[in-house]
Chain A
Amino acid sequence: MSTAGSIEYTAVRELRGPLAVVEGVTGVGWDEYARITLASGERRHGVVLDADRDLAVVQVLEGTAGMDPEGVRAAFTGSPLRVPVGTDWLGRVCNGRGEPLDGGPPVLASRNAEVGGAPINPVRREPPSEPVLTGVGAVDTLTTLVRGQKLPVFSVAGLPHLELAAQIAAQATTAGEAFAVVFAGMGLTHADASFVRDALEERSAAGDLVLLLNTADDPVIERILTPRIALTVAEHLAFTGGRHVLVVLNDMTTYAEALREVSAARGEIPARRAYPGYLYSDLASLYERCGRIRGRPGSVTVLPVLTMPAGDITHPVPDLTGYITEGQIVLSPETHARGVYPPLDALSSLSRLMRKGAGPGRTRDDHLDVAAQLLAALARARQVRDLADLVGRAALSPADRRYLDYEEVFLRDFTDQRSDEPRGLDASLERGWRALLTLPRSRLSMLPAALLDAHGAEDSGAPDDHEETPR
């Protein structure tokens, strides 16, 4: 029998907000997990925020409401939170600290692991390769997600990023190999939490999904544990269970806000916008837990979703996330206003590892060429649209007008998709071709002639089609 956890400390000096100050403690460290028993026998949980001499400041996860300092007993477990790990998590719906919300027994396993985890040793990393197909045409075609990658979604409040995250979590696959999704919702409203449960019901019933839901009214310290529990569960499903695991973290901005709140409670010196100075390393300690390990099956792919307050991409959370991650999927209010879902800003989006996961032998031979041509043509269409705003559509050359038509087909036919519609990569690439073929062949210089022939690209022959609007 170990001494840790057996001794209960009964001297609670004060209760302040969610904090309980326990005195007379020995050998208690930061981040240690605590079990708190009330006089009524009710059990609560806490995390040590600060320990100094014989004082420990414990943040009570369930809050201190209704607690009488007289009858409170706190037992420290001797280590940061550990969670059971294994396949028992699959198909379960739990709250942000891993307790069941689905009416079932607690998640049970013969092994448990510390939620802090340890990022993968760099020399044991296997470079990411092979795609995770999300079933979202524009994402798969233009910003292919690669197994072991961390690819954030940058969004703005009011855009359907939660729908997109849920759709990806519901549809993603890895070409028939064992696959699982861990969805960690942080700071969700109850309406959003119930939307996520409904959207992921099918996958959950199939036993492919772990759903952790921390709602906006749950304690902030729990929000800090949620992504760590999600990643710990994912690591074991991947590297012990041999599955490819996609971890969707929604929304990392509320996570960072929780971190700020806890940091303020700890009395730390605030840095940029009052976030703690260690925000970068804290985010890195989460994002860097993705990857593949040499000699082990499985992979952990991380898709964090974050909202940029007031659309500010220089805000600390997207800014620091951008330093760590390998590309980004950017959602645009303009595209959303045009009624297109997903409202992807294709020109600002990028998957840095796409070349490792797409193309010949991985997806389709023409994938990379088509993606490059779609983006090049879209960039030109964007310039033409700016020009049309100045001189009017009528003053554009016929060739430039076709770029406007291209953009329309790109948005309406290629990008636009129902939120419950899984679209295969082949179907998406064919739609991409359909958009490209609205342009004359001479404008599709990034595609090999053989491919253009195969898709019946024809030059209009009209001399006007080669002219640009005089500037």
Chain B
Amino acid sequence: MTPPAPMTPPAPEQVTRALSPVREALLRAARTDAEALLADADREAAAVLEHARAEARAILGAARREGEADGSDAARDLLVRARREARARTLAARRESFEEVRRQAAVRVRALRGNDGYAALREELERRARVLLGPAAEVSEHADGGVVARVPGRRVDLSLTALADRALDRMGGQVRSLWEP
């Protein structure tokens, strides 16, 4: 039996030479992988960035639209309030002149008491009161001029101010000429 031949280790250069294709292949693969990873990362980063930009644009757009809507709502509210205010003032002024006419009419009609014709007027009013309530009516002078007549359960107010009020009520639309051309 012959002893086995002792193994002689290969020379280091030989090993290096033999492994170099493997190393190169590994290196190539690693580089390709790294490049691919890098490209992926770049792409991903670009996509994330683009997405973020789009989102930012959308948020900005929405905020702008919201702001515009809020602004236009606020402007509309302001306009509505201003119009309401203007309208309220116009109407208040008209009411004031309407009431002034009534006041003036009452003053003028009360002044009739001092006129020469008042006795005849009062007589005519008394006659009318008796037509309305009958001859038994109790007729008395009203503090503002004119007469008030009474029978039990009924009353007729022919005072000068009441007559003026009724006359103004009948004028209706003519009073509008105070504020309409």
List the interface of chain A (C-beta within 8 A of B): 1, 3, 5-11, 23-24, 73, 84, 86, 88, 91, 100, 102-106, 108-112, 198, 201-202, 204-205
Contacts and interface: CB of A to CB of B under 8 A. Distances in A.
A233 to B, nearest CB: 14
B152 interface: yes
A7 B158 CA distance: 10
Nearest to B81: A201
A11 B84 contact: no
B153 A24 contact: yes
Contacts of A11: 152-154
Interface stretch (B47-55, B91-99, B106-114): B91-99
Given A1-B128, A108-B176, A110-B174, A102 B153 contact: no
A109 B175 CA distance: 9
A8 B162 CA distance: 13
A205 B154 CA distance: 46
A5 B128 CA distance: 14
Which of A5, A104, A110, A112 counts the most B-chain CB atoms under 10 A from its CB? A104
Contacts of B175: 105, 108
Given A24-B153, A103-B95, A104-B90, 19 more contacts: A1-B128, A7-B154, A8-B157, A9-B153, A9-B154, A10-B155, A73-B155, A88-B173, A91-B87, A100-B91, A100-B95, A104-B92, A105-B175, A108-B175, A110-B174, A201-B80, A202-B83, A205-B84, A205-B87
A143 B110 CA distance: 62
Contacts of A23: 153
A447 to B, nearest CB: 35
Nearest to B88: A103
22 contacts: A5-B166, A6-B156, A7-B154, A8-B154, A11-B154, A24-B152, A73-B155, A100-B95, A102-B87, A102-B88, A102-B91, A103-B92, A104-B90, A105-B95, A106-B98, A110-B172, A110-B174, A201-B80, A201-B83, A204-B87, A205-B84, A205-B87
Contact of A7 (B80, B84, B155): B155
A466 B122 CA distance: 97
Contacts of A109: 172-173
B132 interface: yes
Contacts of B133: 7
B11 to A, nearest CB: 74
B176 A88 contact: yes
Contacts of B173: 84, 86, 88, 108-111
A7 B157 CA distance: 8
Contact of A201 (B84, B91, B98, B172): B84
Contacts of A5: 166
B5 to A, nearest CB: 78
B107 to A, nearest CB: 18
Given A3-B132, A88-B173, A105 B98 contact: yes
Given A110-B172, A110-B173, A201-B83, A8 B155 contact: yes
Interface in B34-93: 80, 83-84, 87-88, 90-92
Nearest to B73: A420
Given A10-B154, A24-B153, A105 B87 contact: no
A106 B175 CA distance: 11
